């Protein structure tokens, strides 16, 4: 480090020397300048005009017209060092950044002239690439302009292939967003000249090493041969092997012989690591001369620098912009008679440097990360026979080609680090591809090819292999293709049952006794199925002691004195188990109790990370049972896990390490997960637990609600919100009171997350009040403390002014509490002010600019308020404001679901007196009529699917008002029908003839109920009009009779 005073003196000296000394000294002066400014950029601000200004020295020396390349390289290196950022220090001004970026870009766009040696040119490119990367990383530079992005991506693509043997491509000065490959021209002359030499060279190397290569091994020589000459034919032959599921040819070190091969008398593949030339062998071979080896090394560094820069570029571009260049970097299936376009996979398959291959795969992974929305358009499930290729088919073809190329790379790779990147890249692809829209088979090939790598000698490869399997079982679960894969017997894995990471059947039974028995969680009368291979594998990795010796890479992962597998491997296995239970619970429920034992054993260990993932597995098991026992579950009752088994499961948990984890754990994240797990208990099973166990659960949660850690406190508040809905607990007034006080305490916590969870639980608690009021009647209402009820009302009102995540449930709770109030509460002076404040809060929320979820809940809450006959709905001033707010929302809210809920609220009052004066009644009517006419007007196409439900609810509300109308309302109703009758008539007819979807809205779905409602309105109006001697008959009841007659005629005609 140089102090600032010395730095200023030395920089001034260098700048003066560059201006005054002879040109032969400039290169060394610039080298000294580069060393001085390295990591000192923020301290050089006052020298920037001399260096980077309009006539700056660095700009002069880095100019493309500069004949001395060494001088130019030294200037670019100094500029790149100036662009390095220092944490906590100001960065270069925008004007200097732009100047540097353009300079680096011009360097990268330049071509090598004949008088420049390869090594110097490579060093020039490296300096420019480092400069661009520094600008993107340290300067947080955001690439926004298409020309700027296109120019940078073009030079990066050019440098990515710099010096790659057997490949010469021409890239334009800029790339542009396009759905198809563009400007991908190879130089035929150069390729033809290079191919014979390369083939001869690799052939001689193959001959040289022939005696050392063993059967079943893939050497580096074969890799380079297939990459440089005859790539298409070699890759095609390898693909045939992949499609046949030939996993024996995998280069996986220590691959086990397959049972079928051994039985057929075939020699097993060698267990020695596959021969592949290292950098010392391939890049610095004495037979090729030191200069050529050095050139190849520098060219590889350029390619690595370009890929590292590309990685930074991806982070600096919006994904939606980046995917416009998808076809320029991601492979597509070659057309008939045309060569395959060069892409990132070209480097991953052909580059002789393992480090460069790994860099290319890292970039491809970053490209694929977050691509789910872009790839979701892909579709090739049906054969497209059209004159053009749809974009969806193009993307699907690209996805298939990515699978093919990555599997080829997997088979051909021997470097453990690069293997890890290939598998991670596959996992990223699997996580984002829309397999439900693609022809099946892709995941099957990935599944079969990855199995041998589970027993790889390198622990990182094994961990990434499990990550890939986890991605397969979690993507769009459940997929039929994955279900078939999971049902395959374990012996088809390509691994032997002895000495591998996967236990055989007998070993499995010995390690896990419940695997060989008829499971209690399986349907009655069913034979025990063959254990799922993946489930067996993961459980064995978690609980079985390791058998083989520790590899070099395992040394970094000590695990319980090396008794068990390395910790990262066990953690990944637990995560896969949790994903398997989550996505394919019916396939794992046969071993429900056994998996519970696994979770228990993990939570008993000392390692907090193992305990944490054991708790997460426990939570997924509980959630799986909950989903299966829901009323709307598609699983037949006899196919579900029996409640008695669930009781046994939770008894085992509560007698095991779960209570101790909740009480004594110093790790907040672990306590949080354990709390979430405890909240996943099945209500029917909880009611059958012993009394002391029920008390234990409740006591633990109430105690954790006072935790000082916000994560634990939030989880406990949420769990109480789950328990308050249990039938066996919600009728206990003491439990309701204790839970209410605990939730109210959390509702005033300083943590927003705690308040949000507490508000959700408060909503559930008030739902319980309504359920108890309807089922238990007056007895429960009298037992509940008035003071507690007042606290609930005031706390919910206060919470309704909080942020939206709290507010949405706070207004729901307000509606429930106001619905629950009795006449004695309404008349009580202590309640009067709180009721008024809470109603004003609801009304304000309905008309606010809050999120749609908040406004939907507010409309729902007002509907609940209208159900309480104790509230003076027709007389109170707040009622007018409430009806006015709902009327405004039903006409103009952009969100149709909010409109539906407001129309439903307007149709809830059951007596005409609740709607107030004639003017107010007719104002509500007019608002509903206008809303019906606007029910198809929307700027958001996503809202259009709710328009049918909205019209049904509006028609139901209009008929409800007509059934309650008084004689004084008829003149204004008649006037409205005279003006808008013809406009709303088609909607009413549609309402009578088209049933809505169940649960869409509050409107009745039975057409006969709708006809009866219309008939009831006609009879009600006719009776009134008879008393008025027919003065308003022409405009009201006759209109409805005409609608009914038309509907009846249309129905009879349709039936005939």
Which region among 81-95, 415-429, 851-865, 952-966 has the lowest average model confidence (pLDDT)?
A: 81-95
Closest CA to 324 of 423, 180, 515: 180
In this prediction, residues 779-807 reach a mean pLDDT of: 91
Give the span between the Cα atoms of 615 and 574, in whole angstroms. 10
169 DSSP β-pair partners:
186
> What pLDDT band is residue 170 in, cutting at 50, 70 and 90?
confident
186: phi then psi, degrees, rounded to nearest 5: -100, 150
> What pLDDT band is residue 934 in, cutting at 50, 70 and 90?
confident
Cβ-based neighbour number of residue 537 at 10 Å: 27
Cis preceding linkage at 435, omega within 30: no
pLDDT at 894 over 60: yes
Question: Would you state the pLDDT for residue 348?
Answer: 94
Give the span between the Cα atoms of 156 and 309, in whole angstroms. 8
Q: State how far the alpha carbon of 514 is from the alpha carbons of 440, 762, 907, in Å.
A: 34, 42, 57
> What pLDDT band is residue 761 in, cutting at 50, 70 and 90?
very high
Question: Would you state the pLDDT for residue 205?
Answer: 36
Question: Would you state the pLDDT for residue 1053?
Answer: 77
> What pLDDT band is residue 211 in, cutting at 50, 70 and 90?
very low
In this prediction, residues 922-929 reach a mean pLDDT of: 93
In this prediction, residues 499-506 reach a mean pLDDT of: 42
Question: Would you state the pLDDT for residue 208?
Answer: 38
| Mean per-residue pLDDT of the chain | 82
Q: State how far the alpha carbon of 922 is from the alpha carbons of 295, 416, 527, 882, 1037, in Å.
A: 88, 77, 68, 15, 16
pLDDT at 497 over 60: no
| Opening angle at CA 994, ends 988 and 1000, nearest 5 | 95
Closest CA to 713 of 664, 668, 661, 765: 668
Which region among 77-91, 482-496, 631-645, 886-900 has the lowest average model confidence (pLDDT)?
A: 482-496
Q: State how far the alpha carbon of 43 is from the alpha carbons of 12, 32, 39, 76, 368, in Å.
A: 13, 16, 9, 19, 39
Sequence-separated (6 or more) residues with CB below 8 Å from residue 144: none
Is 876 exposed, middle or buried, given 0-12, 13-18 or 19+ CB atoms closer than 10 A? middle
pLDDT at 491 over 60: no
| Opening angle at CA 263, ends 260 and 267, nearest 5 | 90
Question: Would you state the pLDDT for residue 336?
Answer: 57
> What pLDDT band is residue 807 in, cutting at 50, 70 and 90?
very high
- Per-residue pLDDT tens for 584-596? 999 999 999 999 9
Closest CA to 413 of 464, 473, 348: 348
User: Within the chain, how many helices (H) and strands (E) appear?
Assistant: 52, 2
Percent of the chain at pLDDT > 90 equals 51
Question: Would you state the pLDDT for residue 177?
Answer: 84
Sequence-separated (6 or more) residues with CB below 8 Å from residue 544: 503, 507, 511, 564
- Per-residue pLDDT tens for 381-397? 776 666 677 888 889 99
Helix (H) or strand (E) holding 185, with range, is: strand 185-186
Give the span between the Cα atoms of 948 and 131, in whole angstroms. 58
Percent of the chain at pLDDT > 70 equals 80
In this prediction, residues 434-461 reach a mean pLDDT of: 93
In this prediction, residues 728-737 reach a mean pLDDT of: 92
> What pLDDT band is residue 551 in, cutting at 50, 70 and 90?
low
185 DSSP β-pair partners:
170
In this prediction, residues 771-788 reach a mean pLDDT of: 87
377: phi then psi, degrees, rounded to nearest 5: -80, -15
| Opening angle at CA 865, ends 862 and 871, nearest 5 | 135
pLDDT at 961 over 60: yes
Helix (H) or strand (E) holding 448, with range, is: helix 442-450
- Per-residue pLDDT tens for 974-1017? 888 888 888 888 888 888 887 655 444 455 567 788 888 888 88
Tokens 């009846």 belong to residue: 1048
pLDDT at 803 over 70: yes
Q: For the CA atoms of 390, 392, 394, 397, what is the dihedral angle to 10 degrees?
A: -130
Phi-psi region of 10 (alpha: psi -120 to 50; beta: other; left: phi over 0): alpha
DSSP for residue 530? P
Sequence-separated (6 or more) residues with CB below 8 Å from residue 875: 916
- Whether residue 499 contacts residue 457, with contact meaning beta carbons closer than 8 Å, is answered with no
Give the span between the Cα atoms of 796 and 794, in whole angstroms. 5
Question: Would you state the pLDDT for residue 387?
Answer: 67
Tokens 């060989």 belong to residue: 516
> What pLDDT band is residue 490 in, cutting at 50, 70 and 90?
low
Question: Would you state the pLDDT for residue 335?
Answer: 60
Question: Would you state the pLDDT for residue 1052?
Answer: 75
Cα Rg of the chain (Å, integer): 37
169: phi then psi, degrees, rounded to nearest 5: -125, 155
- Per-residue pLDDT tens for 174-197? 888 876 555 444 444 344 344 444
Tokens 């004007």 belong to residue: 95
Sign of CA dihedral 503, 509, 513, 517: positive
Question: Would you state the pLDDT for residue 4?
Answer: 84
Question: Would you state the pLDDT for residue 441?
Answer: 93
- Per-residue pLDDT tens for 414-447? 899 999 999 999 999 999 999 999 999 999 999 9
Taken as a whole, the chain contains a residue count of: 1056
346: phi then psi, degrees, rounded to nearest 5: -60, -45
- Whether residue 322 contacts residue 176, with contact meaning beta carbons closer than 8 Å, is answered with no
In this prediction, residues 901-917 reach a mean pLDDT of: 92
Question: Would you state the pLDDT for residue 935?
Answer: 85
Give the span between the Cα atoms of 152 and 309, in whole angstroms. 10
pLDDT at 738 over 90: yes
Question: Would you state the pLDDT for residue 374?
Answer: 92
Half-sphere exposure of 9 (CA within 13 A, CB side): 5
- Per-residue pLDDT tens for 39-59? 888 888 888 898 888 888 998
Give the span between the Cα atoms of 898 and 871, in whole angstroms. 24
First to last CA, the chain: 96
Sequence-separated (6 or more) residues with CB below 8 Å from residue 908: 863, 866, 867
Beta strands in 547-675 (DSSP E): none
> What pLDDT band is residue 273 in, cutting at 50, 70 and 90?
very low
Give the span between the Cα atoms of 960 and 213, in whole angstroms. 87
In this prediction, residues 627-646 reach a mean pLDDT of: 92
Question: Would you state the pLDDT for residue 862?
Answer: 94
Helix (H) or strand (E) holding 773, with range, is: helix 752-776
Which region among 483-497, 754-768, 1028-1042 has the lowest average model confidence (pLDDT)?
A: 483-497
In this prediction, residues 576-582 reach a mean pLDDT of: 96
In this prediction, residues 356-371 reach a mean pLDDT of: 95
Question: Would you state the pLDDT for residue 806?
Answer: 95
170: phi then psi, degrees, rounded to nearest 5: -110, 125
């Amino acid at each position: 480090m140089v102090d600032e005073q010395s730095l200023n003196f030395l920089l001034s000296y260098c700048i003066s020397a560059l201006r005054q000394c002879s040109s032969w000294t400039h290169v060394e002066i610039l080298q000294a300048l580069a060393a001085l400014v390295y990591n000192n950029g923020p301290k050089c601000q006052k020298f920037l005009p001399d260096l980077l200004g309009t006539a700056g020295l660095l700009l002069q020396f880095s100019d493309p017209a500069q004949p001395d390349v060494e001088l130019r390289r030294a200037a670019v290196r100094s500029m790149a060092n100036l662009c390095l950022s220092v944490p906590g220090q100001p960065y270069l001004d925008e004007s200097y950044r732009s100047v540097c970026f353009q300079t680096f870009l011009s360097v990268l766009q330049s071509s090598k002239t004949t008088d420049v040696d390869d090594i110097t040119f490579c060093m020039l490119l490296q300096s420019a690439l480092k400069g661009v990367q520094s600008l993107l990383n340290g300067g947080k530079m955001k690439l926004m302009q298409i020309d700027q992005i296109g120019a940078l991506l073009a030079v990066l693509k050019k440098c990515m292939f710099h010096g790659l043997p057997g490949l010469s491509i021409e890239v334009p000065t800029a790339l542009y967003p396009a759905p198809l490959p563009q400007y991908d021209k190879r130089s035929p002359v150069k390729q033809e000249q290079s191919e014979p030499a390369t083939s001869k060279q690799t052939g001689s190397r193959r001959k040289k090493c022939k005696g050392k290569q063993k059967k079943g091994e893939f050497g580096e020589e074969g890799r380079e041969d297939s990459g440089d000459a005859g790539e298409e034919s070699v890759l095609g032959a390898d693909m045939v092997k992949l499609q046949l599921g030939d996993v024996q040819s995998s280069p996986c070190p220590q691959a086990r012989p397959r049972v079928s091969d051994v039985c057929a008398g075939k020699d097993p593949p060698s267990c020695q690591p596959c021969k592949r030339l290292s950098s010392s062998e391939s890049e610095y071979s004495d037979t090729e001369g030191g200069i050529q080896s050095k050139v190849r090394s520098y060219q590889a560094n350029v390619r690595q620098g370009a890929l590292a820069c590309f990685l930074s570029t991806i982070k600096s571009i919006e994904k939606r912009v980046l995917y416009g260049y998808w076809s320029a970097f991601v492979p597509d299936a070659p057309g008939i008679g045309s060569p395959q376009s060069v892409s990132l996979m070209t480097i991953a398959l052909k580059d002789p440097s393992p480090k460069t291959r790994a860099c290319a795969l890292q970039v491809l992974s970053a490209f694929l990360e977050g691509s789910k929305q872009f790839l979701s358009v892909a579709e090739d499930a049906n054969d497209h026979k059209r004159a053009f290729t749809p974009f969806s088919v193009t993307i699907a073809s690209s996805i298939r080609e990515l699978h093919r190329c990555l599997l080829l790379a997997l088979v051909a790779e021997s470097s453990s680090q690069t293997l890890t990147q290939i598998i991670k890249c596959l996992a990223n692809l699997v996580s984002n591809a829309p397999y439900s829209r693609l022809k099946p088979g892709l995941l099957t090939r990935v599944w079969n090819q990855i199995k041998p790598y589970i027993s790889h000698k390198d622990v990182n490869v094994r961990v990434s292999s499990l990550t890939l399997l986890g991605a397969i079982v979690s993507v769009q679960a459940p997929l039929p293709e994955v279900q078939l894969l999971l049902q395959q017997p374990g012996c088809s894995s390509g691994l032997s049952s002895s000495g591998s990471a996967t236990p055989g059947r007998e070993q499995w039974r010995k390690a896990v006794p419940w695997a060989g028995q008829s499971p209690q969680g399986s349907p009655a009368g069913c034979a025990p199925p063959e254990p799922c291979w993946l489930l067996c594998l993961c459980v064995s990795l978690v609980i079985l002691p390791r058998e083989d010796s520790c590899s070099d890479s395992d040394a970094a992962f000590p695990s319980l004195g090396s008794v068990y597998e390395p910790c990262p491997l066990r953690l990944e296995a637990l995560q896969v188990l949790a994903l398997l239970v989550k996505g394919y619970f019916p396939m794992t429920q046969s071993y429900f109790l056994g998996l519970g034992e696994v979770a228990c054993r993990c939570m008993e260990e000392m390692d907090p990370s193992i305990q944490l993932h054991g708790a997460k597995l426990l939570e997924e098991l509980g959630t799986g049972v909950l989903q299966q026992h829901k009323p709307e579950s598609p699983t037949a009752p006899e196919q579900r896990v029996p409640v008695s088994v669930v009781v046994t499961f939770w008894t085992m948990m509560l007698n095991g390490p779960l209570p101790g984890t909740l009480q004594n754990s110093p790790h907040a994240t672990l306590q949080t997960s354990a709390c979430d797990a405890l909240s996943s208990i099945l209500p029917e099973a909880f009611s059958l637990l012993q009394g002391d166990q029920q008390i234990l659960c409740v006591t633990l949660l109430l105690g954790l609600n006072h935790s000082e850690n916000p994560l634990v406190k939030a989880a406990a508040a949420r769990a109480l919100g789950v328990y308050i809905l249990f039938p066996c607990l919600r009728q206990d007034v003491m439990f309701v009171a204790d839970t209410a006080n605990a939730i109210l305490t959390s509702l005033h916590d300083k943590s927003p997350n705690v308040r949000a969870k507490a508000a959700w639980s408060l909503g559930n608690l008030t739902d319980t009040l309504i359920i108890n009021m309807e089922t238990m009647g007056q007895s429960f209402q009298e037992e509940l403390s008035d003071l507690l009820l007042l606290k609930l009302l005031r706390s919910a009102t206060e919470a309704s002014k909080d942020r939206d995540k709290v507010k949405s449930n706070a207004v729901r709770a307000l509606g429930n509490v106001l619905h629950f109030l009795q006449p004695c509460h309404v008349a009580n002076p202590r309640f009067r002010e709180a009721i008024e404040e809470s109603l004003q809060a609801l009304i304000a929320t309905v008309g606010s600019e809050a999120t749609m979820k908040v406004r939907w809940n507010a409309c729902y809450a007002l509907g609940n308020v209208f159900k309480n006959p104790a509230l003076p709905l027709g007389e109170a001033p707040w009622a007018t404001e409430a009806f006015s707010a709902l009327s405004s929302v039903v006409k103009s809210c952009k969100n149709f679901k909010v409109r539906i809920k407001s129309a439903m609220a307007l149709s809830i009052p059951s007596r005409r007196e609740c709607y107030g004066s004639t003017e107010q009644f007719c104002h509500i009517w007019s608002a509903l009529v206008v809303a019906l006419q606007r029910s198809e007007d929307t700027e958001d196409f996503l809202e259009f699917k709710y328009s049918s439900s909205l019209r049904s609810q509006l028609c139901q509300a209009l008929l409800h008002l007509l059934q309650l109308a008084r004689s004084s309302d008829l003149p204004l109703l008649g006037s409205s029908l005279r003006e808008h009758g013809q406009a709303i008539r088609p909607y009413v007819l549609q309402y009578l003839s088209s049933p809505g979807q169940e649960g869409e809205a509050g409107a009745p779905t039975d057409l006969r109920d709708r006809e009866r409602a219309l008939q009831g309105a006609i009879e009600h109006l006719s009776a009134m009009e008879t008393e008025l001697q027919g003065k308003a008959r022409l405009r009201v009841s006759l209109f409805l009779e005409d609608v009914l007659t038309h509907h009846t005629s249309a129905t009879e005609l349709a039936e005939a």
